[in-house]
């Protein structure tokens, strides 16, 4: 009985893992929405083409649908909009764009500051070095004299 429960549990976990691992196919509408979510609406401030209620965003979504129906790839569709509007149209700029380095500047500054603080702490710790043998002898002598006086 116990063995049957264990076997059933293992089988249930295996079936669940297999079902989770199956690739899900994307519908045409989902693909259009995903591509439209990556493009900036030229009229609205900070909204994607997918989220914008403007007429130009509606036309852009329609164009994305047409290009997808023609069998164009996501990159081809994005490149068509980049050719018309420039890199500005992409909500996430390409990684090769040097302006993306601006986003790394705060991280670099914080890391440099942390390294500076750590180096100063280490330098101070090194400055407070262990006493030399001569200094230890003087300290012992002083302690012995203080004990003798009391």
Please report whether residue 54 resides in a domain: yes
- Mapped onto helix, strand or coil, the DSSP state of residue 52 is coil
The SS3 call for residue 39 is strand
Give a yes or no: residue 13 inside a domain.
no
87 and 33: one domain?
yes
Position 80 scores a pLDDT of 94
- Domain contains 104: yes
Provide the domain limits for residue 143.
100-149
Query: Given a cut of 80, is residue 67 above it in pLDDT?
Result: yes
Which of the four pLDDT bands, split at 50, 70 and 90, describes residue 98? low
74 and 130: one domain? no
CATH number at residue 40: 1.10.8.640
Burial class (CB in 10 A: 0-12, 13-18, 19+), 49: buried
Q: Tell me if 4 is assigned to some domain.
A: no
- Residues 8-65 have pLDDT tens digits of 777 777 666 666 665 667 788 899 999 999 999 999 878 999 999 999 999 999 999 9
Paired strand residues for 90: 39
Domain count along the chain: 2
**Distance in angstroms (rounded) separating the CA atoms of residues 33 and 37:** 6
* CA distances to 14, 18, 19 from 7, in Å: 11, 16, 18
Same-domain pairing of 74 and 110: no
131 vs 27 pLDDT, higher one:
27
């Amino acid at each position: 009985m116990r063995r049957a429960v264990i076997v059933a549990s293992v089988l249930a976990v295996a079936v669940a893992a297999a079902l989770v691992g199956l690739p899900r196919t994307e519908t045409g509408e989902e693909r259009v929405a995903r591509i439209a979510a990556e493009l900036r609406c030229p009229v609205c401030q900070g909204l994607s083409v997918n989220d914008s209620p403007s007429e130009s965003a509606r036309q852009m979504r329609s164009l994305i649908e047409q290009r997808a129906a023609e069998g164009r790839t996501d990159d081809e569709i994005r490149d068509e909009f980049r050719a018309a509007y420039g890199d500005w149209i992409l909500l996430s700029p390409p990684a090769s764009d040097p302006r993306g380095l601006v986003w790394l500047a705060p991280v670099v500054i914080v890391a440099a500051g942390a390294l500076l603080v750590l180096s100063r702490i280490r330098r101070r710790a090194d400055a407070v070095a262990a006493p030399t043998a001569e200094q230890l002898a003087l300290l012992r002598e002083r302690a012995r004299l203080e004990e003798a006086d009391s």
